[in-house]
Each structure stands twice: as C-alpha cells, then as structure tokens.
C-alpha cells in the first residue's frame, strides 16, 4: 500500500496563512464575517484560520462548529448510524458572511449537507467554502472559494489530513492507495 | 461505539456502552430542540406510530414531538378507539398497522412483556413506552440524562427511589440502568409495596425515608398508582403521605444538595408537596425537556439499525 506525503507541517501552515489573507481580501475585512468548521477537522482548521486572521487584523472572528450527521443523504444506506455530535453556533448567522471550513473537499455531499444544516439556523448573506485539500471527483455542482492545495487523485485513493489538535500527531496530508472495499465507508 | 439493537424493549437488555451512546446522542438532539427551526431531516420518510393501550399524555406527546423533530411522519392510536375494543388481539392490531408499512411502533401496554410478543411477531422496530410493571426504558434514560446534566456523572452517585416499587416500571428500568452505569441505588417504600428479593437487582432496601434522603444525591419520587391499589396495600393515603411523601421539612433536614425527580404525573400533596414540586431542588420540568431529546436519540438509533 503506497503512501505519499503531500503536505508537511510547514506547507499546511503556509496554506492556512494564505487562505486567511484571501478570506480577508475577498470579504474586505472582518465586518459581519464568521467561520464555521465542519466536524471534526474543519473545526481545527477554522480555529487556525481564526488565529491567523487575528494576527493580521487584531480582532476575533465569531467561530462555530457544525455537525452534519443528521443532514447526510446516505443515512438510510449506512448499516449503523454514525455518532451524532453537538452543533455549537452561539451567534445569529442571519445577514452574516459565512465561511464554511472543511479539511478534504471530495464529492461535495458533505458541503450539500452543511448548506442544508446552515439554513436551518438562519439566512446568511453569503456562504463561502474554504478547504485545505481539494481532491476532485465532485458529484454535485459545488465549488470551493478558498483552497489550500489541489491534489489530483484517483477514486480508489484516500486522502488523510492529520492535524495536531484532533489527532495528536504532527500535521501532514497523506495520499494512499486504499482497497476498493473501503470506498463504501467514505460515502461522504 | 455502535448501536446494534433494532428494538428498545428495556434497559435490562442493554450494555453500559449502549446506554452511554444513547445519552451522548441525546446531547446533540437537545441542541436541536433549542433552535428556532426545531427540525432535522434525519428520519425523513419514516413512519412512526404510537400505540397506547394505557392513558398517557406526557410520554405520547414527547415521542410524537421527538419523531416530528426528526422529520418522521407520526400517527397516534389510543386503545379506547382502537379495534382491540372490538375484540381484536394485540398482535393482530399491530400486524394490521404494520401492513401499512410502518417503520417503528412505540407501544404502551398494561401487560408486562407484551413488547416482546410484538418484537417477535412484527418486522418493524418496537420502542417500549411502558409495559405493565416491567420496564419504561425511555423514562429511565431521561432520568439518567438529567442526572448526568446536573452532576456531570452517574458513576458513584447515590440515588434513592421512593414509593410504590412493586408496581413501578420506572423504578425497574432505573435500577437496571443506574446500576449498570455505576450508581448506588436505594429503594424505599411501604413494605407491602416492596417486591421480595429486589436486592438481587443490586439495590439496597431501606424503609426509613429520612435516612435515604440524607445519604442520597438525588431522589426519584414515584407516582402512587392509585389505579393499582385495589388490593389494600396501604392502610390510608394519609399514612402513606406522612411516611413516604416528600415535603420541604424533610428536604431541609436532608440538605440543599439533594435534587428531586418525579416521572409525572404528580399527585400533589401525596408523594410530593406542592412546595417541593415547584421548589428549587425540583428538576421535574428539566426531565420533561430532556425526555424529547432522549426519545429522539432512541428513535434515531433504533430506526438506523439494519438486521438480517
């Protein structure tokens, strides 16, 4: 089973730093801006973007956590229900410019679910998408606004993002060949 | 951690991990009920029927709301207007409802074990909403959820259960659940309403309410089931109230740390004084709020399980 390191700690740090500048540039500053991380690693990345933005602008961006489990389109297909965890958004998202944050952008189904979940909380002015890795193979008409790195992949391959806060190991992004049978486990 | 049960018939059949998974899942569902839009699409297209052969307001509404907040379609059937009053058997009634492609049935029946009959005879999921004197699993789960919320843990908690233990399915489910999660349970009530051999369930028996209150972190007062007292278990209601009813004076003596729970509906002035029911130590309404979250978790888990 071949595994290739695609990004190391430094590359991830630079990508997050560049994305934070791009987010500020596109939104012309912090006004009405908010970050919402998709569990699990999107939450870590949102927190890092928040810190990067603070070091640039000197102010905090409201940051929330979204669990999309209940909005998945494959809930009736998976054998046992995935663990549901809490959504924590303690500000009103109506009228806000929301940046959704996730680690790997693949079929687009997670983001579809996240959009459904978000509109249940209010009516944001805009929703943008920031991802650390875009690996292609979209199944829905969804695109990212801010991308850390584009990685061409085959469908049978696996992209794994490892982040210190959630995985307790040094940051890295790994591309590995995975057996076909694992595909079903990664429906989203 | 994964859930492998198609039915929720009682806490006797669940492991500690199962119970903890329900409580953990319920936490997220509690957040859903606090939103402006109190609905998630998790059970869209599923049909949940509540089939109640005994009177109930709270439990039935709680289940109905839980199903609706998960986007399931719900249908309520009460025994008094059902075809069992025309002589149809329980299994036939249930089979006929199931034939209309129902995904889950929430059942309350006066016979202990009736839910097993249904679980064996039907293909849909069965959720027990109280079967005779045997179990009322979602009530115990919401009690445990409330305890966990108030104390941050269940392991090591001292919980007193007071009242008619003999007829109480709430007591039995709580004993199964609480002891599995490592709480120390003491049951208290008139000797005539104390089942013989209850110690085998891993609880202590104490007939002195004051002592139980003093040593407990939480006390669950049970409803005195007047409809089940025809056999003269008690000399008088007044005596029961004096010996086993909770009032402010008894609570003050025990200390302000104690929280008071009750599965409802309360007989005010009998097992609980009005002062206690509405007082700062009572978490009765929190229990009701948590009930919806716990039942959402139960329906979500049960309906997601595929068995061969």
HEC assignment per residue over B119-165 = HHHCCCEEEEEEECCCECHHHHHHHHHHHHHHHCCCCCCEEEEECCC
Instruction: Give the mean pLDDT of B111-119.
Output: 95
The reply to whether A19 falls in a domain is yes
The reply to whether A73 falls in a domain is yes
User: Which range among A131-145, B28-42, B76-90, B206-220 shows the weakest confidence by mean pLDDT?
Assistant: B76-90
Residue B82 and residue A142: Cα distance in Å, rounded?
50
Residue A27 and residue A144: Cα distance in Å, rounded?
15
CB nearest to A70's CB, from B4, B40, B306? B40
Instruction: Give the mean pLDDT of B274-299.
Output: 96
Residue A185: predicted pLDDT: 46
Instruction: Give the mean pLDDT of B71-75.
Output: 95
Smallest Cα–Cα separation from B263: which of B217, B221, B219?
B221
Residue B195 and residue B167: Cα distance in Å, rounded?
9
Residue B48 and residue A146: Cα distance in Å, rounded?
43
Domain that holds residue A137: 11-154
| pLDDT range class, residue B218, cuts 50, 70, 90 | very high
Q: Which residue of A70, A89, A123, A124 is the best one to mutate when testing the B interface, meaning the one whose CB has the most B CBs within 10 A?
A: A70
Instruction: Give the mean pLDDT of B171-198.
Output: 96
Q: What are all long-range contacts of B131-135, with beta carbons under 8 Å and residues at least 24 apart?
A: B131/B9, B131/B107, B131/B169, B132/B169, B133/B166, B133/B167, B133/B168, B133/B169, B133/B172, B134/B10, B134/B169, B134/B172, B135/B9, B135/B10, B135/B11, B135/B12, B135/B169, B135/B172, B135/B173, B135/B176
Instruction: Give the mean pLDDT of B257-270.
Output: 94
Interface predicted TM-score (ipTM): 0.71
The reply to whether A140 falls in a domain is yes
The reply to whether A174 falls in a domain is no
A27: domain CATH number is 3.40.50.2020
Q: Which of residues 119-138 of A touch B (CB under 8 A)?
A: 120-122
Q: B41 contacts in A (CB within 8 Å)?
A: 70-71, 116
Q: Which helix (H) or strand (E) holds A6?
A: strand A3-7
* pLDDT > 70 fraction of chain B, expressed in percent and rounded: 96
Catalytic residue annotation of B: 58-59, 86, 108, 136
Residue A179: predicted pLDDT: 62
**Is A83's CB within 8 Å of B32's CB?**
no
Residue B21: predicted pLDDT: 94
**Is A86's CB within 8 Å of B27's CB?**
yes
Q: A67 contacts in B (CB within 8 Å)?
A: 28
Is the pLDDT at B282 greater than 90? The verdict is: yes
The reply to whether A182 falls in a domain is no
| pLDDT range class, residue B86, cuts 50, 70, 90 | confident
Q: Which SS3 state, helix, strand or coil, does residue B216 take?
A: coil
pLDDT less than 50: residues of chain A: 181-188
User: Which range among A94-98, A101-105, B76-80, B120-124 shows the weakest confidence by mean pLDDT?
Assistant: B76-80
- For chain A, what is the domain count? 1
Residue A154 and residue B149: Cα distance in Å, rounded?
46
Q: Give pLDDT tens digits for B227-254.
A: 777 678 888 889 999 999 999 999 999 9
Q: Give pLDDT tens digits for B12-69.
A: 999 999 999 999 999 989 989 988 889 999 998 999 999 999 988 899 999 999 999 9
Residue A186: predicted pLDDT: 46
B231 touching chain A per CB within 8 A: no
Q: Which of residues 93-122 of A touch B (CB under 8 A)?
A: 116-117, 120-122
Residue A180: predicted pLDDT: 54
The reply to whether A176 falls in a domain is no
- Tell me where in chain B the CATH 3.40.50.1370 domain(s) lie: 16-135+290-303, 137-287
Q: Which fold has domain B137-287?
A: Rossmann fold (3.40.50)
Given the DSSP bridges, would you call strands A126-134 and A97-105 parallel, antiparallel or unpaired? parallel
The reply to whether A16 falls in a domain is yes
CATH classification (class only), B16-135+290-303: alpha beta
Our CA-based measurement puts residue A27 at a distance from the nearest CA of chain B, in whole angstroms, of 28
Enumerate residues 6+ apart whose C-beta is below 8 A from B181.
B16, B19, B20, B144, B154, B155
Residue B1: predicted pLDDT: 62
Mean pLDDT score across all residues of chain B: 93
Q: Whole-prediction pTM value?
A: 0.86
A67 touching chain B per CB within 8 A: yes
Q: How many residues comprise chain A?
A: 188
The reply to whether A103 falls in a domain is yes
Residue B304: predicted pLDDT: 74
Our CA-based measurement puts residue A160 at a distance from the nearest CA of chain B, in whole angstroms, of 22
> Order of strands across the sheet with A172-177?
A3-7, A172-177, A157-162
Cis bond upstream, residue A159 (ω within 30): no
**Is A120's CB within 8 Å of B35's CB?**
yes
Enumerate residues 6+ apart whose C-beta is below 8 A from A131.
A101, A102, A103, A104, A105, A144, A146, A147, A148
**Is B25's CB within 8 Å of A84's CB?**
yes
């Amino acid at each position: 089973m071949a595994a290739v390191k695609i990004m190391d700690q430094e590359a991830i740090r630079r990508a997050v730093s560049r994305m934070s500048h791009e987010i500020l540039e596109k939104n012309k500053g912090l006004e009405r801006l908010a970050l919402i991380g998709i569990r699990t690693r999107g939450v870590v990345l949102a927190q890092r973007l928040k810190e990067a933005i603070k070091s640039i602008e000197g102010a905090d961006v409201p940051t929330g956590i979204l669990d999309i489990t209940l909005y998945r389109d494959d809930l009736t297909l998976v054998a046992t229900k995935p663990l549901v965890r809490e959504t924590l958004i303690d500000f009103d998202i109506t009228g806000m410019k929301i940046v959704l944050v996730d680690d790997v952008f693949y079929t687009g189904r997670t983001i579809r679910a996240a959009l459904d979940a978000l509109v249940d909380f209010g009516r944001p002015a805009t929703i943008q998408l920031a991802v650390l890795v875009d690996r292609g193979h979209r199944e829905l008409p969804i695109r990212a606004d801010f991308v850390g790195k584009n990685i061409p992949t085959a469908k049978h391959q696996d992209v794994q993002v490892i982040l210190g806060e959630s995985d307790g190991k040094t940051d890295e992004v790994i591309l590995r060949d995975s057996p076909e049978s694992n595909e079903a486990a990664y429906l989203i | 951690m994964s859930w492998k049960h198609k039915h929720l018939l009682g806490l006797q059949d669940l492991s500690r991990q199962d119970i903890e998974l329900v409580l953990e899942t319920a936490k997220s569902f509690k957040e859903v009920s606090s939103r402006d839009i109190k609905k998630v699409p998790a059970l869209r297209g599923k049909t949940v029927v509540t089939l109640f052969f005994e009177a109930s307001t709270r439990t039935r509404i709680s289940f109905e709301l839980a199903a609706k907040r998960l986007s399931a379609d719900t249908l309520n059937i009460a025994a008094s207007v059902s075809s069992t009053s025309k002589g149809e058997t329980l299994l036939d009634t249930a089979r006929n409802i199931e034939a209309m492609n129902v995904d889950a049935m929430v059942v309350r029946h006066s016979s202990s074990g009736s839910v097993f009959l249904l679980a064996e005879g039907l293909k849909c999921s069965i959720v027990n909403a109280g079967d005779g004197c045997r179990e009322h699993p979602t009530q115990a789960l919401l009690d445990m959820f409330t305890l966990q919320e108030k104390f941050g843990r269940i392991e090591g908690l001292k919980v007193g259960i007071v009242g008619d233990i003999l007829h109480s399915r709430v007591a039995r489910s709580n004993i199964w659940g609480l002891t599995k999660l490592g709480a120390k349970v003491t049951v208290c009530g008139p000797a005539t309403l104390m089942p013989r051999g209850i110690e085998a369930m891993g609880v202590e028996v104490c007939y002195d309410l004051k002592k139980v209150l003093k040593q407990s972190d939480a006390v669950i007062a049970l409803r005195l089931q007047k409809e089940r007292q025809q056999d003269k278990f008690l000399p008088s209601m007044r005596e029961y109230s004096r010996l086993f009813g909770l009032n402010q004076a008894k609570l003050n003596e025990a200390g302000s740390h104690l929280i008071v729970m009750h599965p409802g509906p309360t007989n005010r002035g009998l097992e609980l004084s009005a002062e206690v029911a509405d007082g700062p130590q009572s978490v009765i309404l929190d229990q009701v709020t948590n009930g919806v979250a716990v039942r959402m978790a139960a329906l979500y888990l049960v309906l997601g399980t595929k068995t061969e």
